[in-house]
Amino acid sequence: MSNLRRKVYLTGGYNTVSLGTGRKEFNPKKARPGIEHYIKEAGQGCLAQIGGARNVDECVISNFMAARFNRQANLAGFFPMIDGELRYKPATRVEGACGSGGLALTAGIRAILAESAEVVLTLGVEVQNTVKAIYGADILAGAGWYASRKKGHAYFFPGQFSNRAGVYFEKYGRDITRKGMARWFRQAVENARTCPTAQEYHNTSADLDTLGLTEPDPASFVDHLTIYDCSKVSDGASAIAIVSDEGLRRTGIPREQAVEVIAWAQVEEDITQPPQDPAELSTIREAVRQVIERAGITMDQVGTVETHDCFTIAGIMGVEAMGLAEPGKGAQFVLDGHTARNGIIPFNTTGGLIGWGHPVGATGVHQAVTIWEQLTGRAGDSQIRLNPDRPYGLSVNMGGDDITVVAILYK
Amino acid sequence: MNYSEHLRKVSVLGAAGKMGSGITLLTAMEMADQLLRDPEQVMELWAIDLSPRGLHGLMEYLKPQVLKAAEKKTVWLRQMYTGRPDLVENGEIIAAYVAFVLSLVNTSAHLSDAAGSTLVFEAIKEDPEVKIPVLREILRNGDGNTWFFTNTSSIPIIRLDEEAGLGGAIIGFHFYNPPAVQKLVELIPSGNTRPELVEFARQYARNLRKVVVESNDFAGFIGNGHFMRDALWAIETAGQMAKTMPIEHAIWIVNRISQEFLLRPMGIFQLIDYVGIDVAVYIMKVMNPYLPDEELVSPFFVNLVEKGIRGGQFSDGSQKEGFFRYEKGRPVAIINLQTLTYDPLDTVHAATHDLVGELPAPLSWKEVNFAPDKAEKLANFFAALSHMKTYGAGMAISYGRNSMRIAKLLVASGVARCEADVNKVMETGFYHAYGPVNEYFK
């Protein structure tokens, strides 16, 4: 039972490097490429795979806060810079905080379904290293309700998820959960080490378990998380083409080099309200419920997941929201190795937000690129072996504190 | 008076100097933090310096420094500013704090503005003939309740106390350079220092998050007590070596041994350049009269200074020429003592490399000092060194032993209270990876 009136495919994915601390070429004191550099590289990287810009009908770009990080809005205007043949074609910018990339995908999917386009160039970008983290925290806080900023932590979002972790620890036990979080961190870095564009690709730390179990220091950071529980500050862009059957024909791309969108769900929660149960990601739960129901499958048939692990605790709570583990059992599920790259359902196989990086507005698109790579056998050293009984890929992209969620199921 | 009442009026003398500006910075932030906790208190800070231009530079220096500090303690600042609904973002709170700290600093070029201070922090020229009349004058202008901190690194505190007639209201509070960065403070009470002043000084240092080592009141204290003797040994050793090789070669070899073979952050002659050859000469001159059994004088250093080779730093922090010429903070050429020009280090290095021989292992101070398994790395490195028969290894061992001899002398002569204190000073004040009293050079 599909919710799609037409077949929709993704192909031609491209990721720039996720640049930031951890990458050897990153030097905070030296000038770095501007946002246009990332847009151009990702855009051209995708166009080169789909026969050029002349095949594109429409463009979508997702970004969260370029207006503050880069003093730049009106981002759709960058498409003609990528390629002169995109000039005068329709282009739209979408924003849903860290879920912006997911919105770019659903906007592109809608254009295909509406038959207003056969090929949509979809691109996400964020360049955040323009300000120090302490000021970046102010900018990112815009993903929450402005009226809650004053009472929030200096590091606003780590503060929000630290509060969630605190409630979760209280409810389900601190030790086991922190062990699960540390394992999540280790897997993220180990997966990132297989992917040359990942921010943690150069990570050589020998003892990730010990790092992951570092005790939080509330005086300098938040109560229940350490920096190892957090995704980093990243500059990067990802692009992918969303196409119809006609689009596949036009671009000359064989079906096996594309993934099909089987179902999608886009869910919104009230940004002015605190979570009803901080120990649960209920909007993700609803989005995954919808996408699985629309696809007419069960989670047992999903072979790999890209989930929104902006924090390790969000990774663990995401596992539970997908119904893979009972509430409170997500940490054990991770510790049992089920989410590892050789586990029953590998998660975040290029490192996710913690390992690959989290250029906010690009993340949702990056997730789709990773799923496309895995399902079409082009993930390089990151390639996992998919169980034929589990042919589906799932991506879950979250904006804000469980506010804007996009879940997509691919095959 | 309680702790914060002693901060009611603080004057920093020599506030535009390198030490004074750091002291002004730290004191202004300490005051601001006390006031944020309890806004009812009254506190003022006077930054006094004879140079109005220097005071302008002080304010230029303070702003980015306070900003950097505020960015590191924003978590705490947000708590302090909860009662200010107009300040929402970190950026707004940080800007408010910076403005607040700067508003506490009054600059003045007149010593008379220090009158009535509860605390005077003296960081003027390292010369008793300059310091004593200034202290005396402040005492005369005040109500007799002023406490004094002196940043002297070499003059006995008791001398300042007695000659200025301060009646025990003075303590040595010796920051390392630059005060904002260096963790170490040497606290030097004289036998006459009032116990409540010692207690206040300890509290103040703790609030500044400094590592405190209390030293007894002997000229040079612990830090310079070690450094000056270490420097003298190095130049005398180079002088001996110069009987069989050019002096420039000897200087370069000793510098390399002290840095690369002893795993120190800088070679000894680079460190002397950093501090200033003239400053080293001056400190030795101050210390020497108090050391009847030693002759702490280097005619070599004196000669260099007379020829205008002084080292030290430009106001932007870059290194002036001394034993070496520097590019981007690294030595690239060494002084030729005949011509007083600089010869490329590459050539000198090539000419001396074979004689010195290889390191026991490719390890540097940077690689060892921050390593989690530092103790093991050091033990392995020096165990290997002790088995080597090279010129370099032999010299490193003599060097390490001499450094230990100095440390033990400092304890035996009552300057340091224990060997651990000497190690702590060298590790925190000089960034050595290990203290001079160790098991490495048996």
Show which of residues 41-80 on chain B sit within 8 Å of chain A, judged by CB atoms. 71-72, 74-78
Q: Are residues B364 and B241 both part of a single domain?
A: yes
The amino acid at residue B173 is F
Q: What are phi and psi of A53, to 5 degrees?
A: -70, -20
Question: Which pLDDT score is estimated for A1?
Answer: 41
* Residue ranges of chain B with per-residue pLDDT less than 50: none
> In chain A, whose CA is at the least distance from the CA of B75?
A154
Quick one: pLDDT at residue B1?
81
Co-location of B94 and B236 in the same domain: no
Taking 3-state DSSP, the helix, strand and coil percentages for chain A, each rounded to the nearest 5, stand at 40, 15, 40
Q: Which residues of A touch B (CB under 8 A)?
A: 132, 134-135, 137-138, 141, 149-150, 153-155, 218-221
Flag if A138 and B90 touch (Cβ within 8 Å): yes
- Pairwise CB contact (< 8 Å): A149 & B88: yes
Enumerate residues 6+ apart whose C-beta is below 8 A from B164.
B131, B132, B133, B135, B136, B139, B170
| Residues in chain B within 8 Å Cβ distance of A218 | 75
B12 within a domain of the structure (yes/no): yes
Strand partners, B354: none
Please indicate, yes or no, if residue B440 is contained in any of the structural domains: no
The answer to whether residues B11 and B96 belong to one domain is yes
Name the residue among B75, B77, B85 with its Cβ closest to that of A220: B75
Domain co-membership, B248 together with B109: no
What's the pTM? 0.88
A136 to chain B, closest Cα gap in Å: 9
In chain B, the number of structural domains is 2
pLDDT for the residue numbered A2: 54
B88·A132 Cβ contact <8 A:
no
Residue B196 and residue B233 in one domain: no
Q: Which CATH number fits domain A9-132+233-257: 3.90.660.10, 3.40.47.10, 3.40.50.300, 3.30.465.10?
A: 3.40.47.10
Interval B99-154: pLDDT, tens:
999 999 999 999 999 999 999 999 998 889 999 999 999 998 888 889 999 999 88
Quote the minimal CA–CA distance from B369 to chain A in Å. Answer: 17
A145-231+262-410: CATH superfamily = Thiolase/Chalcone synthase (3.40.47.10)
Over the stretch A215-272, which tens digit does the pLDDT of each residue have? 999 999 999 999 999 999 999 999 999 999 999 999 999 999 999 999 999 999 999 9
Cis peptide before B178 (omega within 30 of 0): yes
Angle, helices B247-256/B268-275, rounded to nearest 10 degrees: 90
pLDDT at B317: 72
Q: With an 8 Å Cβ cutoff, are A135 and B75 in contact?
A: no
Residue B28 domain-assigned (yes or no):
yes
- Look at residue A304 and give its three-state secondary structure: strand
Domain-located, residue B11:
yes
**Do B289 and B336 belong together in one domain?**
yes
pLDDT > 70 fraction of chain A, expressed in percent and rounded: 99
Q: Are residues B109 and B200 in the same domain?
A: yes
Q: Is the ipTM of this complex over 0.85?
A: yes
Query: Domains of chain A: which residue ranges?
Result: 9-132+233-257, 145-231+262-410
Asked whether B132 and B160 are in contact (CB, 8 A), the reply is yes
Over residues B160-218, the pLDDT tens digits come to 999 999 999 999 999 998 899 889 999 999 999 999 999 999 999 999 999 999 999 98
Together in a domain, B238 and B143: no
**Count of CB atoms within 10 A of residue B3's CB?**
12
Domain check: are B197 and B304 in the same one? Answer: no
B389 in the same domain as B267: yes
Q: Is residue B258 part of a domain?
A: yes
Query: Of B150, B184, B214, which residue is a domain's last?
Result: B214
Closest CA to A354 of A228, A239, A215: A228
Whether residue A41 is predicted with pLDDT greater than 50 in this model: the reply is yes
Beta bridge pairs of residue A394: A305, A409
Do residues A47 and A63 make contact, with C-beta atoms less than 8 angstroms apart?
no
Mean pLDDT, chain B, whole residue set? 94
B434 in a structural domain? no
Cβ atoms A150, A387 nearer than 8 A: no
Partner-chain contact B75 A138, CB within 8 Å: no
Cβ distance of B85 and A150 shorter than 8 Å: yes
* Domain end call among B214, B249, B266: B214
Mutate: best of B89, B92, B98, B209, partner A, most A CBs <10 A: B89
Q: Is B247 left (phi over 0), alpha (psi -120 to 50) or beta?
A: alpha
State the CATH number of the domain containing residue B297: 1.10.1040.10
Q: Which residues of A touch B90 (CB under 8 A)?
A: 134-135, 137-138, 154
What is the C-alpha R_g of chain A? 20
Report whether A400 contacts A143 (CB < 8 A).
yes
> For an interface test with B, which of A134, A148, A205, A211 has the most B Cβ atoms less than 10 Å from its Cβ?
A134
Among the partner-chain residues B76, B88, B90, the one whose CB lies closest to the CB of A134 is B90
Residue numbers in A near B71 (CB within 8 A): 132, 134
Under a CB-based contact definition with an 8 Å cutoff, are residues A100 and A237 in contact?
no
Among B191, B214, B237, which residue terminates a domain? B214
Which domain does B197 fall in, by range? 4-214
CB distance B197 to B167 below 8 Å: no
| CA-to-CA separations, B27 to A280, B4, B78, B102, B225, in angstroms, rounded | 47, 12, 21, 11, 27
Residues B273, B151 within the same domain: no
